[in-house]
Every structure is written in C-alpha cells, then in structure tokens.
Amino acid sequence: MRRSFFLYLAAVFISGIFVAASGQPLFLLAGLIFVFWRRPPWWWLVGIILFFGAIFYHQEFDSRANSSKLRTQVGETASGRALISEDIDPGGDYQKVVAIYLTADGQLGERFLMRLPAYPRYRAGEIISFSGTWEAPENWSAFRYDRYLARQEIYVLLNFPKAEKIGVAKGFFFSLWRFKARLYQKIIAHLPEPEAGLAAALMLGYRQTITADDKTVFSETGLSHLIAISGSHLSLLAGMLFLFLKRLKIKARAAAPLLIIFLWFYVALTGFSASALRSVLMSTFVLSGAGKRWRLSSGSLLLICAAIMLLKNPLLLRDDLSFQLSYLALLALIYGEPLAEAKFGQGPIRSLLILTMLVQLLTWPVSALNFGRVSLLAPVANLLVTALFTWLLPLLITNVILSFAISGAFFWAGTYLLLRTIFLISRFLASLPDAAVSLTISEHFVYVYYLIIYLLYRHLKKTMRFKKSPQLEDFLNQFKNYQN
C-alpha cells in the first residue's frame, strides 16, 4: 500500500511537470484521468493537489527569467567581479565560462555566461573582474538557446568582455576540477589529436575537445551517446572497482558504500550531466539495497529517479535533451528488451543488436524533432563500437592512473589503437550514402508515435510470455554473491 501510494505520487508529479512542459490542454485531461482512474477517494485529493502543484512549480521555474535583475540590464554596460563556478571545457576556439556575479559586499548573485578568448586559460574557482555589455541569449533555427541556458538558471551572457583574474576561491568542487585538469593534461601528453580529444570526452565528460566534424560523424552514425557520461560509463567503472575490492577481500557490506561514494565522486568530476545523474541515482538505490527492501522493480526505480531529478529542476523534462534520451533508452532496456528477446531469442550479439534497435526505435523521434536528421546506421555502428568501448574505458583509466608513476607512450599503445579504430569505423560508416537522412516532424507526431508504441507494448505484453529484464538487478546479484 505504502509503496503503491509512493509510486502513484511520483507518477502524478511527473505527469504535472509533463503537462506544464508540453503546454497541451489534451494532456491536462489525460493527467486528470490518470489521477482519478481506479484510485481510492483519499488518493484523489492528494493527487489533485500534487498534480496542479507540479504544474505551478514548473511555471514558477520557467518564469524566473522575468525576475532576473541582470536580464533587465540587457544592452547596458556590465562591470564588476565574478566567481567562475563551473569547470571550463578545454576544447573549442573560445572558453565558455559559467560565472556567478559578486555583489559589492561580496555576496553571491546571479549566474551568467561569458565567452572569453581561448587564452589566457581560466579555471573554476578563480575570481575575475570584467567589463562588457549584457546580452540576451539568441535562439537559432528550432533550437531555444534561451531555454537551454535557463535550465541552468542563466539568463544573460557576455560576449568577449575584458576580463582579468584577481583572486582564487577555495572549495571542494574547485579542488576536484583542478584535479580533473591534471587528468586532462596526462591524456593530451600521451595521446595525439584527435584521439586525445575523444579520450577526454569519454573519461572526463568534455564536449569541446572533439572537433565539429567528428561530432557530426558521431551524430550521423548514432554514436553521440559515447561522448556523454551515462550508465554505460558508470557500470564499467563500478565493475572495475567491484573486482578490485573483491581481490582485496573486502566484504560486500563495506564495499557497497565505497562503490556509491566512488560513483558520486565520478559524476561530480564529470559535471553532473542528466544521464549520469539518472544512472548514479539508480545505482545508489540498488547498491544500498533500498530497491530490494521496498520491492521496487526497475521501472519503479526509473520513475522515482525521474521524480527526484524533476523535483530538483523541473525544466529538465522540456529543455534537457540528455535527460530525454537517457530515460527513453532505459525504457527500451527495461520494457522492450524482454519482449524482443522472448520473440527473437538471446545471445551476446543478438541481444546487443536488439537493444540498439529498441533504443533507436524510442529515441529517433526526439533526434528528428531537435536536429532534423536520423541515423540509419546506428545499430551497425553500435554493434561494432560497443565491444571496443567496453575495453577502452577501463584501459584508458588505467593508463591515466599509471601515468602519475610511469611515463612513456608505450603503455598507451592499446588505448590509442582502440580510439583510432573507433574513428576509422565511425568515419567509414558516415561516408556511406544515406548514413543519416533529413527528417522534419512535428511535436504532435511525436506524441502520437509514443502513444502507438505504448499501445503496442500493452498488446504484446498481454499476448506474450516473457521474463522481466534483469539488467538492472544483474550487478546487485553479483554483489550479493560477492560475499561467497
């Protein structure tokens, strides 16, 4: 009863956020039907309050730009001091600096974005003086750049102002990102470009270290997810640490919190992307045993984690593509893969191909809506590259760790060959005719498409016998056997 009610509240909250994000009156009606459908009367009252509360909560976040003091100064001269609050991507032709305005008495004010020349380099935690002109974010094509920044509570920017470092602040995250910069230096010292840029993206979550041309190649072949820190990264890293702790004869009860701390540390190091946050939240539930105690299925965990993330920032659902694609991919894994394997059988290559096809089935409308293009070779590209990635990330991390004690490019040969192979495969596939096709669709088409997918799933679920997807529980089962 308690578990069902808790999941009901999570679903109602997400429904309210979705209604506010979509702005479609029809979804308001659907949400209300969900609140009342076969529920006890006292659930209705709580559900209605939470449903409309979620709508107003999203609207309040969405309207914060109107109360921004810096936003009212657009076009005026900007000058003062600011604290660089986030790690700066070392790639690209210029530096994108997220800063917090410092008031005259040294208090933290609003966040804003600065575009600064590539040199001199700035780092998180530095205090700078600046002077320029406040500007509003400009949208282009179908991309709402203002919303993209607003989800980070950024409403204004400065394009190449005069800037000068005047001090350094202390803090855990600033120290963490300085350590991250040292890791990046190890990578570029031992690998040539463009392999070094790809390695930095895979391990550290940087985006601008990959050239625009190679980003296009990865997009055309459906491999963009490789350069976004996600569940696959955390699973590999957790597996590495899991085996290491097992060799040290550390018991499972002591190892679980170590794994959780390590995963959160890595997510903080790489910048708290939406896909990484979703993965680390689910991993925390699984490793802590909370999912088992509360008898939560994989789908229930996904629902709870989505509600937690939207409670922190309700704009993620509408304005964060990483959030959307991450949850769609997990839905394909949790609900689609068991059905497909019941129909077509299991096997390492077959399962990987099935999963890739299912992920493509659920994510292509979002890609088409946002980018106007859809990759046709994603299943083939992922089938060829996934096995390489499984070896590449652990090997890369091992190389970086050993580089603090051992120097020499020889130890990096395997990492270089794997990175080079990924480039060769992706570039070859992208060069094939019609590797990706242009496709323009509307939001209404996307809604109808997912409704059809849902109805099809419900039909297949009733007519087929299948086992629930074990992927999320696999690691927990291995962890339980760890004690033996």
Q: pLDDT tens digits, residue range 10-43?
A: 999 999 999 999 988 888 888 888 877 778 888 8
> Dihedrals φ, ψ of 120, to 5°?
-75, 155
pLDDT tier for residue 291 given thresholds of 50, 70 and 90: low
Tens digits of residue pLDDT in 222-277: 888 877 888 778 888 888 888 888 888 887 777 888 889 999 999 999 988 888 89
On the question of pLDDT at 116 being above 90, the answer is yes
Query: CA end-to-end span of the chain, whole Å?
Result: 35
pLDDT at 253: 75
User: Peptide bond before 90: cis, by omega within 30 degrees of 0?
Assistant: no
CA atoms of 104 and 79, how far apart (whole Å): 11
pLDDT at 131: 95
Residue range(s) of every CATH 2.40.50 domain in the chain: 71-169
Asked if residue 439 lies in contact with residue 374, where contact means CB atoms within 8 angstroms, the answer is yes
pLDDT at 101: 95
Using DSSP, state whether 55 is helix, strand or coil: helix
Using DSSP, state whether 72 is helix, strand or coil: helix
Average pLDDT, the chain: 86
Highest mean pLDDT pick, 106-120, 247-261, 324-338, 378-392: 106-120
Alpha carbon 317 to its chain's center: 12
Residue 74's Cβ-count burial label (10 Å; 0-12, 13-18, 19+) is: middle
Asked if residue 335 lies in contact with residue 297, where contact means CB atoms within 8 angstroms, the answer is no
On the question of pLDDT at 473 being above 80, the answer is no
Centre a 10 Å sphere on the Cβ of residue 89 and count the other Cβ atoms it contains: 19
Asked if residue 208 lies in contact with residue 91, where contact means CB atoms within 8 angstroms, the answer is yes
Mean pLDDT across 158-185? 93
pLDDT at 292: 62
pLDDT at 95: 94
pLDDT top residue among 472 and 99:
99
pLDDT at 472: 46
Specify the pairing of strand 162-168 against strand 126-133: antiparallel
Return the residue matching tokens 């109107």. Answer: 66
CA atoms of 405 and 149, how far apart (whole Å): 41
Tens digits of residue pLDDT in 337-387: 788 777 777 777 777 788 888 888 999 999 888 888 888 888 888 888 888
Percentage of the chain beyond pLDDT 90 is 43
**Helix (H) or strand (E) run with residue 317 in it:** helix 316-319
On the question of pLDDT at 480 being above 50, the answer is no
On the question of pLDDT at 332 being above 50, the answer is yes
pLDDT at 422: 94
pLDDT at 114: 96
pLDDT tier for residue 163 given thresholds of 50, 70 and 90: very high
Mean pLDDT across 424-445? 89
Pick the CATH number of 71-169 from 2.60.40, 2.60.120, 2.40.50, 3.30.160: 2.40.50
pLDDT tier for residue 465 given thresholds of 50, 70 and 90: low
Residue type, 253: R
pLDDT at 1: 52
pLDDT at 268: 92
Residue 325's Cβ-count burial label (10 Å; 0-12, 13-18, 19+) is: buried
CA atoms of 478 and 242, how far apart (whole Å): 10
pLDDT at 483: 38
pLDDT at 290: 57
